[in-house]
Amino acid sequence: MSRVRVDLNISLDGFATTTDQTPENPFGDDWGRLTGDYVATRTFRERVLGMSDGSGTTGVDDTYAAGYFEDVRAEIMGAAMFGLHLHGDDPDWRGWWGEEPPFRCPVFVLTHSEREPIAFANGTRFEFVSMAPREALKAARAVATGGDVRIGGGPTTVRDFLREGLVDSLHVAVVPILLGRGVRLWDDLRGLEAGYRVTAEAAESGVTHLTFEREDGR
């Protein structure tokens, strides 16, 4: 059954997006710390970095990392995640991911600015749409052909979908660090847990993997 999924890394104090970027350090130091245990997994190294030397961790973190890519046939992301807040004035900007973006499926980027679609040889195709969450989800489902739709991020976009009750499965990797700054995932989501089965699993790295699965199985 096609599901709407979210996977995010957050700090203990709830920050899913970091704000310490500079021109010299476009991702910032906090981002590296937030994603370090995910980046260290064998799945990330194979799937995102294109490494095939069998390196990387293979424990609980890797199990969730592998799940991240399973069955996703369409993705929706906010303009900031694609980089438009920084690079929106550059008509040639193609995202952060080089010529092998790890999505390998249609990606709907929510933005009010008009941009031409960008297609890559590996199946990734960015399409820029000005749509509300439900409308974007309908468009994504139409091309997902029974596969899952992932809401990729950032946290503001994810919250929009969570608040409208559109997410079936939420996986949050809670990293044992306190950032003290950034954009929080959990703001204004009181009572979100209603209707979900919530589970927690501790990884060897110290990361806790939280999952919210919708109870009615939709």
Burial class (CB in 10 A: 0-12, 13-18, 19+), 88: middle
- Compose the 137-176 pattern: x for residues touching its own copies by CB under 8 A, - for all others: -------------------------------------x-x
* Interface with its own copies, residue 199, by CB under 8 A: yes
**How far apart are CB 13 and its own copies at their closest, in Å?**
4
Residues numbered 5 to 24 that lie near its own copies (CB under 8 A) are: 12-14
Question: Contact 168/3 with Cβ under 8 angstroms?
Answer: yes
- Compose the 175-194 pattern: x for residues touching its own copies by CB under 8 A, - for all others: -xxxxxx--x-xxxxxxxx-
Place of tokens 């799945």: 43
Q: How far, in Å, CA of 104 to CA of 90, rounded?
A: 23
Among 198, 215, 216, 217, binds its own copies (CB under 8 A): 198
* Interface with its own copies, residue 32, by CB under 8 A: no
Q: How far, in Å, CA of 184 to CA of 159, rounded?
A: 10
**Number of residues binding to its own copies, judged by CB under 8 A:** 28
Q: Which is nearer to its own copies, 110 or 170 (CB)?
A: 170
Q: Which residues neighbour 88 within 8 Å (Cβ) at sequence distance 6 or greater?
A: 79, 111, 113
Closest CA to 85 of 108, 106, 107, 113: 113
Q: Which is nearer to its own copies, 71 or 193 (CB)?
A: 193
Q: Which is nearer to its own copies, 100 or 213 (CB)?
A: 213
- H or E element: which one contains 65? helix 60-69
Candidate ranges 1-9, 64-72, 138-146, 206-214; the one touching its own copies (CB under 8 A) = 206-214
3-state class (DSSP) for residue 194? coil
Among 90, 135, 164, 201, binds its own copies (CB under 8 A): 201
Place of tokens 């920084």: 86
Among 88, 210, 213, 214, binds its own copies (CB under 8 A): 210
Q: How far, in Å, CA of 35 to CA of 59, rounded?
A: 16
User: Contact positions toward its own copies, by CB under 8 A?
Assistant: 12-14, 174, 176-181, 184, 186-193, 198-202, 206-208, 210
